Chains A and B, each alone.
Chain A
Amino acid sequence: MALDGNAIGGLLLEIFAVDMTSAEATCAACGAVRSVAETMVYFRGPGTVVRCRSCTSVLMVISRVRGLNCVDLSGIEALRVRAASA
């Protein structure tokens, strides 16, 4: 089932403790920069696969293994997340 990054906003909130849907991710494969909300998300399978909407390469894979969220971010070259105001 293909949704978008909004659908894993809660999971990402649990992992990163800040909203990540508005974070901008640079795809390591094609260089496209888009918000995490705009990624293609496949879940309900063994893990959650997050893909670049521009080139479909895998950006992120999140597997839940024995109470741990295992996050592979190697498909993301850079992330920009808004800092909390001073």
Chain B
Amino acid sequence: MAGTAVRGRLIWQVATVATVTDETDAVRTIALDLPDWPGHHAGQHLDVRLTAEDGYSAERSYSIASADGEPVAITVERLDDGEVSPYLTQELRPGDQMEVRGPIGNWFTWGPHDGGPLLLIAGGSGVVPLRAILRHRQRSGSSVPARLLYSSRSLEEVIYRGELDQYRGSAEVRYTLTRRQPPGWGGFAGRVDGAMLARIAWPASQRPLAFICGPTPFVEAVAELLVARHYPESRVKTERFGGA
């Protein structure tokens, strides 16, 4: 079955962990060394396969956190009852190996040629591919207007906060904190709703391009709100996350 073996090599590649960076208490970014990586586009994801000593293996999908041309990185949120995320966010160290399949997904991607204005709406770890999009937009010098609305339970759980705050002036980043807000918080609170979108979403007349990423109920609620604001379905791209 030499043909299958060759295709297997083309599909799954061995990755070595280069660095690990804790973003928050439960979230870690892992940069990977992938010598034969063909490159990726912001918004795409990859599949990770871990194999234990006894041959047991598990696969999971993670959005790529880095932009086109940057080294591959993924950002993983630890699910307490998970099988893979606790390993990736706590045990894994530089030098460890895993297998990677990707890049995957030519639909949920953005490049400057796709235009805008861009409306990015993130629910929790759904911010990962949208952060890659913002990085790509900045690195390519694009002047497409962009706004990110990022829903998080609390400010401490916001991923990439320092980096996102740096976009002030070149992109508008707003957080909505759904569970707790720090004293004196003047930003949005509670779930994304019509009133919030009325304040941050580009008017449909500007033909915006929207990307929504997060848990299924979040994505579907927000997509429905945008369609109610007359965004054509073809201009609302969605990616639903779910714990495996």
Contacts and interface: CB of A to CB of B under 8 A. Distances in A.
Contacts of B7: 17
A19 interface: yes
Given A19-B105, A19-B106, A21-B104, A13 B244 contact: no
A21 B105 CA distance: 6
B51 interface: no
Contacts of A22: 105-107
Given A10-B102, A13-B101, A22-B106, A3 B45 contact: no
Interface stretch (B151-159, B165-173, B235-243): B235-243
Interface string B40-65: 00000111000000000001010000
Contact of A14 (B11, B105, B216, B242): B11
Nearest to A38: B238
**Residue picked from B216, B238, B240, B241, most chain A C-beta under 10 Å:** B240
B56 to A, nearest CB: 16
Nearest to A13: B104
Contacts of A1: 216, 242
Interface in A37-76: 37-38, 44
Contacts of B102: 10, 13
Contacts of A28: none
B188 interface: no
A10 B216 contact: no
B105 A44 contact: no
Contact of A3 (B47, B59, B105, B242): B242
Contact of B240 (A3, A14, A19): A3
9 contacts: A1-B242, A2-B240, A3-B240, A4-B239, A6-B104, A10-B104, A21-B105, A21-B108, A38-B107
Q: Top 10 A-B pairs ranked by shortest CB distance?
A: A37-B107, A9-B104, A10-B47, A22-B106, A22-B107, A19-B106, A21-B107, A3-B240, A9-B105, A21-B105
